[in-house]
Structure 1
Amino acid sequence: MRDGGWLNRPMCGLDFETTGVDPESDRIVSAAVVLRGGGRPTGRTSWLADPGVEIPAGATAVHGITTEYARAAGRPAVEVVEEVTAAVAAAVADGCPLVVMNAPFDLTMLDREARRHGVTPLVDRCDPYVLDPRVLDKRVSRRRGSRTLTDLARHYVVPLFGAHSAEADAVAACAVTYKIGNRYRFLADTPLPRLHAEQIRWAADQQQGLRDYFARTPGKEHQAATVRLDWPMIPVPVATGSGR
């Protein structure tokens, strides 16, 4: 991939709606890969998967997809995971930075689903430069409050119609990332390999701050151990045997 100039290139946005919030055990329900920017029309590809498990009511309340609908209209999860992974790898090979809001969740989810279904994982196909609008925004703004995609879209004046639709969220994440880079030009002027590496450090610092906050806050101490510092993906857990 060429260095620098990422603000003027197409970005590849990736987003999932899932059965829950644990990327190690939950499943993909819907997915979107979008190509936005670079003077090209926005390209959008969406998938609906039958995750093979029940979709909890709490997850349905967020994205609106029921177990019954996913079973009736969704495609086999293995096909969806293969096609999503291939689409992302193709975009990365074409020079696109990969935009993922809260990257450790979605990229870990994609990785674990690939391994679960015997699909070649993304990390074995390409080495993407990732742009995470949440990490970037936390780096440039010290404002207080929530930083969901809806919050970022409001702050950077980006339309977000149909939040918690994978396609709408992927498009909005790319638009927010563009707005951040355009407003804070030192980010746009940073070559992608370096910016990716900086985000690894920034994300670790940001998560360490959250871990410290939980550790010193009465009633929240137990949450400190749940905060991961990994970015852009949580490493695959090392299997441990009983030994002999």
Structure 2
Amino acid sequence: MDQWRAEPLSLFSTPEWIQVVGVFDLETTGVDVATDRIVTAHVGLLDASGTVIRARDWIADPGIPIPEGATAVHGITTAHARAHGRPAVEVVAEVVEAVRALLDAGIPVVAYNAPYDFSLLKYEAQRHGVPPIVDPSPVIDPLVVDKAYDRWRRGKRTLAVVAEHYAVRLDGAHEASADAVAAGRVAQALAERFAPWLPGTVQELHTRQIAWARAQAASLTDYFIQIGRIEPEERLDGSWPIR
């Protein structure tokens, strides 16, 4: 959109809050945040160049069979998770601790489609008696930010597609560490591309994303009703960054 390119981007510097970012991603048994379970997880830290400076990965035995459809996405079978995964309660507790430590330090945590990962982590924590993260902040969701600043771009907004659009390499899509790192680098690319229009603080960006996500869900709801995908009385949940 021409409105985002009124001045040469070289005149503007990227916001300070993008210099160091946390990254967070889960691969799971399915897409229901309330009932599905964590299979693999990644929490890491990127510097200003997108280099990984800290990383931790987990594989859990989710305690339930991993459906073939989920295995087709992330490659982890039930047998592999049972043989190599740690007890879910231990993994959930450690992932919560790692994410909470970043947030408590004021480091923004990047999660692509944040309500999925943060909500599923919340329900997993509750399931295993771990104090959950109920109001994560500050969070950066490249999906929400990309839709806000390049609303009319055609095509899908999957991580793979958006990463390609912003020239971010993604090897091993749907592998937790690869997805988490790519999402962090997409967030940094967005900050560079749209630097003149981004808020000066990550706290303000967090607040704006709450409104953007709500508006995006309302717009998608109207479209789905128009094409007959959902009934007029149905509404998509625009809660962000957790449901």
Q: Same fold (TM over 0.5)?
A: yes
Match of 1:59 in 2: 70
Please say if 1:115 is aligned against 2:144: no
- Give 1:213-224 correspondences, 5 Å limit: 213-218=223-228, 220-222=229-231
Determine the C-alpha separation between the residues in 1 that align with 2:201 and 2:145: 14
SS of 2:43's partner is: strand
State the aligned residue count.
227
Unpaired runs of at least 5, structure 1: 235-244
Determine the C-alpha separation between the residues in 2 that align with 1:106 and 1:89: 14
- Give 1:1-244 correspondences, 5 Å limit: 5-8=16-19, 10-38=20-48, 41-123=52-134, 127-141=136-150, 142-186=152-196, 188-218=198-228, 220-222=229-231, 225=234, 227-234=236-243
| Cα-to-partner distance string for 1:188-235 (whole Å, 9 max, x where unaligned) | 5431111111000000101111100111113x124973621111000x
| Cα-to-partner distance string for 1:109-128 (whole Å, 9 max, x where unaligned) | 000000000001123xx742
Cα gap change, 1:38 to 1:74, in 2 (>3 Å): same
Unpaired runs of at least 5, structure 2: 1-14
Determine the C-alpha separation between the residues in 1 that align with 2:175 and 2:232: 29
Cα gap change, 1:7 to 1:55, in 2 (>3 Å): same
CA shift, 1:7, in A, is 1.7
| 4+ residue segments displaced more than 6 Å | none
Cα gap change, 1:191 to 1:28, in 2 (>3 Å): same
* Identity fraction in percent: 47
SS of 1:122's partner is: coil
Q: What TM-score do you get using the length of structure 1 for normalisation?
A: 0.89
Determine the C-alpha separation between the residues in 1 that align with 2:83 and 2:60: 10
Cα gap change, 1:152 to 1:54, in 2 (>3 Å): same
SS of 1:42's partner is: strand
CA shift, 1:162, in A, is 0.6
| Cα RMSD after superposing both structures | 1.7
Q: Which amino acid aligns with 2:87?
A: P
- Does the 8 Å contact 1:31/1:47 carry over to 2? yes
Q: Which amino acid aligns with 2:107?
A: C
Cα gap change, 1:155 to 1:122, in 2 (>3 Å): same
Cα gap change, 1:226 to 1:191, in 2 (>3 Å): same
CA shift, 1:34, in A, is 1.1
Determine the C-alpha separation between the residues in 1 that align with 2:205 and 2:183: 17
| Cα-to-partner distance string for 1:77-122 (whole Å, 9 max, x where unaligned) | 0100100110111112222101010011000000000000000112
SS of 1:24's partner is: coil
